[in-house]
């Protein structure tokens, strides 16, 4: 697995030994919150995850105990690009050791009704200079929703955090990619360029079948337009 460490200098990952998983922070069901501060798991390959979960080879990110199937989270439908929708019923797992439960999501951030691809398209258009109204019209989303996304992502602290997340992931797989990141016209464009490079690098080495924006959603811990996770 790819592990997101909280220490100051993350290790370089051997991409030949990494499975189809990325770890990210996810708020679990309030009834059984995970007591650990380690990140949650984001699933890149649901079918493989189901197989590993049944076999007990998927590990708790908090205590490294074996995770087992524990039903599913609430089913819901989210909006993808265009008129497409995605039906989600995330798998829930429970740790044999610490008894904490975890939701294993995939293409959408917690509490969002749009996929990361939709939100990412809005952010990308804004970074290129497109206004709120045109973005909302092109994506067929409420103006207030698009404005909220763009205002959130343009916070300077958040933009710096996004780029730092991207660079940290690139460094774990291929540090040479970092030197090839060309300066852009704005801090947000710099961050998006780094995120794109991270997604390309991870897809090329680890999860080639996963959509780029899904990878970016996991790189950013489901917080492309939300506040960073607390330290």
Residues 154 and 202 in one domain: yes
| 135: Cα separation from own chain's centroid | 23
In sequence order, the 6+-apart residues with CB closer than 8 A to the CB of 172 are 2, 10, 11, 12, 13
The answer, yes or no, to whether residue 21 has pLDDT greater than 50, is no
Q: Which two tokens stand for residue 122?
A: 């809005």
Residues 127 and 100 in one domain: no
Residues 71 and 137 in one domain: no
The residue-averaged pLDDT of 126-138 equals 97
The residue-averaged pLDDT of 10-37 equals 35
pLDDT at residue 207 in the model? 80
Predicted TM-score (pTM) of this structure? 0.72
Residues 150 and 86 in one domain: no
Torsion sign over Cα 200, 219, 182, 9: negative
Residue 21 CA to residue 15 CA, distance in Å, equals 12
Give me the number of domains the chain comprises. Answer: 2
Residues 100 and 121 in one domain: no
Residue 203 CA to residue 207 CA, distance in Å, equals 5
Top-confidence range, 19-23, 80-84, 227-231: 80-84
């Amino acid at each position: 697995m790819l592990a997101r460490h909280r220490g100051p200098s993350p290790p370089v990952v051997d991409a030949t030994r990494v499975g189809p998983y990325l770890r990210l922070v996810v708020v679990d069901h309030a009834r059984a919150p995970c007591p650990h501060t380690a990140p949650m798991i984001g699933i890149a390959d649901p079918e493989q995850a189901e197989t590993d979960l049944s076999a007990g080879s998927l590990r708790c990110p908090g205590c490294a105990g074996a995770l087992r199937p524990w039903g599913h989270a609430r089913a819901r439908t989210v909006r993808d690009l265009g008129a497409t929708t995605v039906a989600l019923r995330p798998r829930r797992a429970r740790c044999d050791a610490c008894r904490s439960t975890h939701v294993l999501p995939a293409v959408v951030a917690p509490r969002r009704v749009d996929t990361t691809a939709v939100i990412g398209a809005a952010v990308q258009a804004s970074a290129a200079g497109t206004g709120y109204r045109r973005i909302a019209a092109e994506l067929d989303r409420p103006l207030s929703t698009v404005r909220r996304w763009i205002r959130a992502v343009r916070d300077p602290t958040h933009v710096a955090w996004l780029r730092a997340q991207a660079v940290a992931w690139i460094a774990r797989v291929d540090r040479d990619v970092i030197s090839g990141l060309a300066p852009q016209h704005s801090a947000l464009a710099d961050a998006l360029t780094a995120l794109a490079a991270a997604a390309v690098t991870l897809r090329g080495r680890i999860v080639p079948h996963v959509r780029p924006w899904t990878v970016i959603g996991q790189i950013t811990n489901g917080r492309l337009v939300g506040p960073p996770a607390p330290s």
